[in-house]
Structure 1
Amino acid sequence: MIADYLRGLLFAYQVLPERDELSARITRHLDRVTTRHLDHAVLLRSYVRWSLLPRARRHQRLRGGGVKHRIRWAYTRINIAADFLTTMAVLGLSLSEVTQHQVDAWLAGNPGTRHEVRDFVVWAHRRHHARGPRRRRPRTASSDLGAHARTAPDHRLPVAPPRRHRLDRLPRSPRRWCSEPSVNAHFEEIRLQGITE
C-alpha cells in the first residue's frame, strides 16, 4: 500500500520510468497465489498470461480510467480458479477428470462464483486442459416429431396432398414463367376456356 503510493508519487514526478501498473499488480498477486498453490502454478500462470492479462489490457485500452476495477476483477478470478483447483485436488481429481457434476457440486457450496468459475472452465476447455460441458437441447414434441419424420416416415400421419395451381388462376401473361411460344398459346387457350365456362 505504502509502496504503491510512493511508486505513484515517483511516477508523477518522473523520477521512475512509467510501467504498466495493471500487469505488475496482477502478476504480483499471481506470484502470491502460486506460492500457496504450488501444484497448480503452471495452470494458473498460463490462465493469467493467456486469458486474464490480455482482456484486462484490452479493457483498459478501450475504456481508460483507473485500474482498480480491472485489478479486483483479475484478483477474484485468480483466487476462485485456485480454490476450484484445490477443491478438485482434495477430491482426488485432476482438471481433465472434472465433470459437470463436480462443477455443479462446487457451485452449490460457492453460489456467488458462477461467472468466475465459468470463465476458468471455459478457458481450460478451449486449451484442452479440461473436458467440455455436455449440453443437450431440451426435447420438445415438435423437435421429436421433426427428427422422427427425417429418419423414418410414419405412414399413419395424415399427409396433405401436393398443392396444385388451378388453371383459371394462371397469370394473364404466361410469358412471365414460360418462354416457349407454343406452350404460352396453349395456356392462354386454357385460361380463356376457364373464363367463358
Structure 2
Amino acid sequence: MGAADAPARIIDWLQSSTSARLLADLAATGQHLSHDLLDTLPAGHDECYVRALLVHTAVLEPRQEGLERIAPWLERILADRPAAHARLVYPYAHWVLLRQARTRAAKGRSAPGSWGHIRGRVRLILSFLDWLDEQQLTVATVRQDNLDQWLTSGPQRRHDIRSFLTWAHQRGLTNEHHIRPYPEAPATLVLTEEQRWQELRRCLNDNDLPLRVRVGRTLTLLYGMPASTVRLLTANDIRHDTDGIYFSLGRQPLFVPPRPAALVTELADRARQSAPMATSPSSRACLFPGTVPGQPLSTAGHSLLMRRHGFHTVPARSAALIALAGQLPSPVLAELLNIHVHTARKWASYSQPDWTAYLAERAADRDLRT
C-alpha cells in the first residue's frame, strides 16, 4: 500500500466500501481466490468490482467477463419460460449469438457493449414468442402478414428478428419470411464545417475544460470516432514515432496532429499515474476510466460526460465523417478508421465526392511502377 500512488484513497476504500468488506470475507474463508469462487457469489456491483480489482492487480487472470456471464444469465431468464420457447432460444443463443461473440473475442474485436447486444436480441425473441402465444400462433404457423403486423406495431429494433427467423427457416422450423433491414436514417442535426472547426479550436485552447473532455471531443471532431470507440482507448493504443504519435485502431495507424497529440499524451500520462492500486504489467491504462478498476466508462457515461460540458457527439461525428468521406475514398477511410466499408460508403454518399482524378492518378502511378 505504501508504494501506491494514492494510499489515502485505498485506506478510505478499505474502511467504507462494501466491496472491500466482501474481499475481506473472501480472504477470511481461506479459500483460493479464483473466478470459480466468485462465480458462486450473487451477481451484483460488489462481486463485479472485486473481480475486476483482482484482475487489475494480476491476482486473477483476465477473461471475457461479459461473455462468461451470458450463459448463466440465459439459464436464469429461460428457467420460467415455456419449454417451447426455451427449445428455440437456447440453441440459437448458444450456437449463433455466443458463437459469433466468441469468434470476435478470439480476434480481439469484442467490446463490452456486445454483451448487452446479445441480451437485447434474446429479449426481443422472447417478446416475439410471447406475441405469437397471444395470437395463438407458433413459429411454425406464423405467416408473412402476421409478421408484418408485429413489425409495424412496435419499435424499429423489431426488424432485428430477421436473423433468428432466418436461422429457424434454415432448420425447417418456420416458413421463409421476408424482412428488409430497417434503413438507418442520417442524423438530422449535423454541425457545419465552420461550427466543427470552432468547437475543435475550443477543445485545443480552453484550459477550463476537463482534459478528458477536450481529448474525447477532439477525437470525435477530427475523426468521427463514436463514444463506443473513444471510451475504450488506452495508453497502449498510442504509438510514438519519429514524426509524431499515432493511434493503433485498425490495420493502419492513425496520425494525430501535434496540438491534439500533446493533449492525448498528457491524458495518457495521467492515466498511467492515476491508478489507485498497483496494476499488473498486462493491465491497460484507460484514457477514460470508469469506477470499476481497469474498466472504462460506459458508452452512456462517456456521452453524459460530454453533454455536461455542452458537447453532443452525434452532430459532431456526422460532420467529421462527411468531411473525411469527401477527402478520402471509401476503402481508405474504412481501413483508416477501422469501420466497415459499407459505413464509409454511406458517408461518402452524403458528400458525393468525385474520385475520377484520384483513380486516374493511382492508375498512372501503377504504370510508372511497372
Q: TM-score surpassing 0.5?
A: yes
Change (3 A) 1:65 1:125: closer
Counterparts in 2 of 1:13-162, with a 5 A limit? 13-39=57-83, 40-64=85-109, 66=111, 68-133=112-177
Change (3 A) 1:9 1:112: same
Structure 1 residue 88: Cα displacement: 0.4
Higher helix residue share: 1
Structure 2: how far apart are the matches of 1:8 and 1:124?
Answer: 38
AA matched with 1:98:
V
Structure 1 residue 52: Cα displacement: 0.2
| Structure with greater Cα Rg | 1
Change (3 A) 1:119 1:91: same
Structure 2: how far apart are the matches of 1:116 and 1:51?
Answer: 14
Is the Cα–Cα contact under 8 Å of residues 33 and 79 in structure 1 kept in the other structure? no
Backbone CA RMSD of aligned residues:
2.2
Structure 1: how far apart are the matches of 2:120 and 2:149?
Answer: 20
Change (3 A) 1:65 1:48: closer
Specify the SS of the correspondent of 1:79: helix
AA matched with 1:54:
R
Specify the SS of the correspondent of 1:131: coil
Aligned to 1:165: none
Is the Cα–Cα contact under 8 Å of residues 76 and 116 in structure 1 kept in the other structure? no
Is the Cα–Cα contact under 8 Å of residues 44 and 81 in structure 1 kept in the other structure? yes
What runs of 5+ residues in structure 1 fail to find an aligned partner?
A: 136-197
AA matched with 1:81:
I
What runs of 5+ residues in structure 2 fail to find an aligned partner?
A: 1-44, 180-370
Structure 2: how far apart are the matches of 1:88 and 1:4?
Answer: 37
Residue identity (%): 29
Specify the SS of the correspondent of 1:15: coil
Is the Cα–Cα contact under 8 Å of residues 124 and 158 in structure 2 kept in the other structure? no
Deviation larger for 14-23 or 90-99 = 14-23
Change (3 A) 1:63 1:102: farther
Aligned to 2:195: none
Is the Cα–Cα contact under 8 Å of residues 47 and 120 in structure 1 kept in the other structure? yes
Deviation larger for 51-60 or 107-116 = 107-116
Q: What do residues 17-56 of structure 1 show as CA deviations (whole Å, max 9, x unaligned)?
A: 5444233222132123212423311211101111101111
Structure 2: how far apart are the matches of 1:86 and 1:123?
Answer: 19
Deviation larger for 30-39 or 100-109 = 30-39
